Amino acid sequence: MAETLAEPATRTGDECFLSDMARIGDLPNSVKRDLQVICRRRLFSCGETVAEAGEPSEFVGIVREGILRMQKSLPDGREHVVGLLIEGDMFGLVFGGPLHFAIEAATDAEIYIFGRAAFEKIVMSSMELDRLLLLNLMNELDRARDWMVILSLPKIRARLSGFLIVMCARFQKIDHLITISRRAIRVRIPISRPDLAHLLGTRVESISRALHALADDGLIEILQPDLVEIRDLAALSEETGELDLGDPASLQRLVRALRTAQG
């Protein structure tokens, strides 16, 4: 299935593309070469299914561009978003059983795909790649726990605030999602309202109301439906009850960057 549109990723002038990906650049050259050989590039357009749930996951993927959403499909037809995958994220169980959720493109996306068997072979030959997988998993686990903390906040306002903060902390490196203007941080919300509602465990209407409530109180400004400017990061953080979401250090880095831009 995945092979139909796949094309070899070893194009001229792009031989070291893997080095761009988060953390993969640190691998020994021999491993990178091996990965390069089995790597295929695929494009998905928004809404397309990348991997079905319940299948043994015939490939491992790395997101090159765009956003994927992981979702559990409920028997009644509704779907529940349990996480987002962004640039540099890996997915697909490497040695495990079937996937417990589906993966779909939340935006147009570009993905690097590795056949599972071949990938596992390389993993077994490289301690470094093995370690990378382990770290990647720990990272994902941390993120899942962050979502848990956010989801268990009682009010939608607080959950939405948590979401925005996580976006800031984690998606900093994605330049077209977070931009630091002279006066504030601008966050582009990369998923639709229904998806966001599912992710935060609520309905579209509540999301809308909470967002505008935050705007009315001056914590944020809604420039476009999917583009908000954070006016008061500290207050936003207070909304969540001051939890330290994601990597506190990366938030501080953001605050520093903001001060530099202002001063």
Query: What does 208 interact with, of a copy of itself, DNA, none (CB < 5 to 8 A by kind)?
Result: DNA
Strand order of the β-sheet with 227-230 is 178-180, 185-188, 227-230, 220-224
Using CB under 8 A, list all residues that contact a copy of itself.
70, 72, 74-76, 78, 80, 82-83, 93-96, 100-101, 124, 127, 130-131, 133-135, 137-138, 140-142, 144-145, 147-149, 151-154, 198-203, 241-244
Candidates 20-28, 100-108, 115-123, 155-163: pick the segment binding DNA (CB under 7 A): 155-163
Cβ contacts of 195 within 8 Å, gap of 6 or more: 69, 81, 106
The number of residues that bind DNA (CB under 7 A) is: 23
Candidates 73-81, 111-119, 120-128, 153-161: pick the segment binding DNA (CB under 7 A): 153-161
- Whole-number Å distance between alpha carbons of 186 and 135: 30
- Measuring CA to CA, which residue among 68, 78, 85, 241 is closest to residue 152? 241
Q: Is the CB of 194 or the CB of 248 nearer to DNA?
A: 194
Is residue 188 a contact residue for DNA (CB under 7 A)? no
Shortest distance, CB of residue 74 to a copy of itself, whole angstroms? 6
Instruction: Name the pairing type of β-strands 49-51 and 39-44.
Output: unpaired
Shortest distance, CB of residue 226 to DNA, whole angstroms? 6
Is residue 77 a contact residue for DNA (CB under 7 A)? no
Show the site string, 201-230: x = touches DNA by CB under 7 A, - = not: xxxxxxxxxxxx---------x-xxx----
Shortest distance, CB of residue 207 to DNA, whole angstroms? 6
E strand map for the chain: 7-8, 39-44, 49-51, 59-65, 68-73, 79-85, 90-91, 102-105, 109-115, 178-180, 185-188, 220-224, 227-230
Shortest distance, CB of residue 234 to a copy of itself, whole angstroms? 13
- Whole-number Å distance between alpha carbons of 46 and 241: 35
Three-state DSSP class for residue 169: helix
The DSSP line for 170-205 is HSTT-TTTEEE-SS-EEEE--S-HHHHHHHTTS-HH
Query: What does 118 interact with, of a copy of itself, DNA, none (CB < 5 to 8 A by kind)?
Result: none
Tell me which amino acid residue 236 is: L
Q: Is the CB of 149 or the CB of 174 nearer to a copy of itself?
A: 149
Q: Is the CB of 10 or the CB of 152 nearer to DNA?
A: 152
Residue 260 in tokens: 């530099």
Binding site for DNA (CB under 7 A): 154-157, 192-194, 201-212, 222, 224-226
